[in-house]
Structure 1
Amino acid sequence: MKKISFTSDILPMKDILYRLALRITLSREEAEDIVQDTLIRVWNRRDSWDTIENIEAFALTVCRNMSLDRLRLHENQNASLDDTPVESNPTATANPYERTVQREKVQIVRQLIDALPEKQRACMQLRDMEGKTHKEIAAVLGITEEQVRVNIFRARQTIKQQFERYENYGLN
């Protein structure tokens, strides 16, 4: 069994932990605090690291649980995921109008993702943005792989349908 190092195995996960916490809490400050608390909690369990099968799944589970606890505590569901504008590639679209439309579409998709139920949002985040396998997501969220697939499918369908509705009718 590989010896786990905090510096080389756990600290590099802080960006993944941050994105997961941000996706759940929708607050940058809360996400930063949760990552710090997660790293402390994982560090405090250093004596039992050898018994943990997958340290990354363990850290993600701790982060998810802390995020959900914090969310319940603060009821912070109406905040925006990201208050800063999206930087688009200036060469991708030539004129300012097209870049503005593209930024608006990205913002709409973010809002649609933010409005998803927590489990669908977490599954989608871990799969589409973090590249985790269905098995890894199931371990982190404590659900079956089939439930992961269903949540991802439903999340994608919801976003697709609502985005098409917005595109066709301008309704949010």
Structure 2
Amino acid sequence: MKKISFRNDVLPLKNELFRLALRITLNKAEAEDIVQETMIKVWNRRDNWNDINSIEAFCLTICRNMALDRSKAMNSRNMSIDDTPNEMPADHSYSSNPEEQTMMKDRIKLIRSIIDHLPEKQRSVMQLRDFENKSYKEIATILDISEEQVKVNIFRARQAIKQKYIETENYGL
């Protein structure tokens, strides 16, 4: 096993942890808090680092579990997902036509909304596979499920997104 360094091995994961927490909680402030708490928990377990096969999977698992706990706590307080603003990127490189830009922003907003309404496990596998480029094996380790379950959840998530997107585009909201 290699010697794990907090600075070189754990800290570079903060953006990846943030994206995972944000995808689960749908709240930027909560996601930031979760990343900070994840880093603290990982640091407090530094004596066990030599027993860990993948520090990345270890960190992502802690982050995911904390995000799920926070998300469940938010739901029990009857907070709505709609209370969190959807932040749009300031990237206008896809077109110089304002109408096309607006249509693209609307499509991105629709897809994000569809993803946000997927079941948690499907959202998590989508985040890890399509946005974080993790392998099926890594996702299975992080989520503590089989690789087959990972593939099934990704397939179902993509099918649900495709179906809902086509339905919305064809019939409107």
Using the alignment, how far apart are the partners of 2:139 and 2:84 within structure 1?
Answer: 21
Percent of aligned pairs sharing the same letter = 56
Tell me the secondary structure at the aligned position of residue 89 of structure 2. Answer: coil
Shift of 1:80: 6.5
How large is the Cα RMSD of the aligned pairs?
Answer: 1.3
- Which letter does structure 2 place at the counterpart of 1:143? I
Structure 2 partner of 1:98:
100
* Map of 1:60 onto structure 2: 60
1:37 aligns with 2:37: yes
Alpha-carbon separation, structure 2, partners of 1:47 and 1:38: 16
Match of 2:169 among 156, 167, 170: 167
CA contact (8 A) 1:23 1:81 kept: no
Deviation string 1:91-116 (CA, Å, 9 cap, x unpaired) is x3231000000000000000000000
Q: Which consecutive unaligned segments of at least 5 residues does structure 2 have?
A: none
Shift of 1:77: 5.5
1:50 aligns with 2:53: no
Partner of 2:88: 85
Is the CA contact 1:114–1:121 (under 8 Å) kept in the aligned structure 2? yes
Unaligned runs of 5+ in 1: none
Separation in 2, partners of 1:144, 1:80: 34
Q: 1:167 to 1:142 in 2, by over 3 A?
A: same
Q: Which residue of 2 aligns with 1:148?
A: 150
Q: Deviations over 1:41-67 (max 9, x none)?
A: 000000110001111000000000001
